[in-house]
Structure 1
Amino acid sequence: MDRPPFHLLLVEDEPADAALFEDMLAEQDQEIMVHHVENGQEALDYLLGPVPGPRPQLVVLDLNMPVMDGHEFLERVKGAAEVRTIPVLVLSTSEHPDDIVRAYDGQVSGYVVKPGSYEDYTRVLETIRAYWLGLVRLPRLEDLSLDRMRH
């Protein structure tokens, strides 16, 4: 059964990490459309500005970035009625308990520590893909009215 493309917003300031993520995901699934931005401010502009294409169904967020870090992005995006229902998955090198607790306090949908090996990274991305594209049912933004999102 064919499915429509799945749109993902990757918020990652390291070009090599972003390229690896995109390449590995493309090997697993050609129907995942990744849009990459380099910091939280660019992500907010993308989500809240004029929509350049379909809104993402998932945001994959690094925490430690210049301009606006992941924690500030979470605070701002979860306060915006238009986009707060979009799940955000943190993918970070930080294993610090304070970062993890602060991310969940910021209403993150999940927290994954970036693995150190290519094989482990492949398994992580396979699991993310299986969970977010197969198991979980996500709300479609077109099904949510602004009035409903404000309550």
Structure 2
Amino acid sequence: MSPAPFQLLLVEDELADALLFQDMLAEQDQDIQVHHVQNGQEALAYLCDPVPGSRPQLIVLDLNMPIMNGHEFLERVKMLPDVRSIPVLVLSTSEHPTDIHRAYDQHISGYVVKPGNYQEYMHVLETIRAYWRGLVRLPNLEEVIQSRVAR
């Protein structure tokens, strides 16, 4: 039996950016399942009522979105015990030091500025994929939640 696909939640309001991200990532790794939502409010709803087996192992978050921006999302998600340990990688056009500092204060796992061209973007996504899919060990949140319930 093959392992379950890597689950990634992409929180991005620009549909063209989301499609580009998904297409480029699929070129590198067919075993990553990307679930796309358009703002922080949709992301919270998804995280609070996940389909079994679809809880993300990584959240890739844009900061500048309507309805609930990335900073507002981080304030809320990091207060939820069942999902606060999911690593969040900010992928934003903002290079502003205040955004970067504030995001790290909100317990993100990394901050990447969106690249300006296709080749750079492919390199960034390959690095993200190699790091999160190969190098680091992530918690199995389903097991963590089940152990809390069993106590």
Classify the TM-score, shorter chain.
over 0.9
Letter paired with 1:99: D
C-alpha RMSD of matched pairs (Å)? 1.3
Deviations, residues 69-91 of structure 1 (Å, cap 9, x unaligned) = 00010010000001001000000
CA distance in 2, matches of 1:145, 1:36: 23
Match of 1:81 in 2: 81
After superposing on structure 2, the runs of 4+ consecutive aligned residues of structure 1 that deviate more than 3 Å are 145-148
CA distance in 2, matches of 1:83, 1:75: 13
**CA-CA distance at 1:147 after TM superposition:** 7.7
Match of 1:64 in 2: 64
SS in 1 for 2:108: coil
Unaligned runs of 5+ in 1: none
TM-score by length of 1: 0.93
Match of 1:52 in 2: 51
SS in 2 for 1:59: strand
Q: Judge conservation of contact 1:82–1:146 (CA < 8 Å) in 2.
A: no
**CA-CA distance at 1:146 after TM superposition:** 7.2
Match of 1:111 in 2: 111
TM-score by length of 2: 0.93
Number of equivalenced pairs: 146
CA distance in 1, matches of 2:124, 2:63: 18
Identity percentage over the alignment?
71
CA distance in 2, matches of 1:125, 1:68: 25
CA distance in 2, matches of 1:35, 1:94: 23
Letter paired with 2:46: Y
Q: In 2 relative to 1, CA 4–146 (structure 1 residues): closer, same or farther, beyond 3 Å?
A: closer
Match of 2:138 in 1: 138
CA distance in 2, matches of 1:5, 1:134: 13
CA distance in 2, matches of 1:22, 1:134: 19
Q: In 2 relative to 1, CA 147–79 (structure 1 residues): closer, same or farther, beyond 3 Å?
A: farther
Match of 2:122 in 1: 122
CA distance in 2, matches of 1:52, 1:144: 16
CA distance in 1, matches of 2:34, 2:112: 18
CA distance in 2, matches of 1:73, 1:146: 25
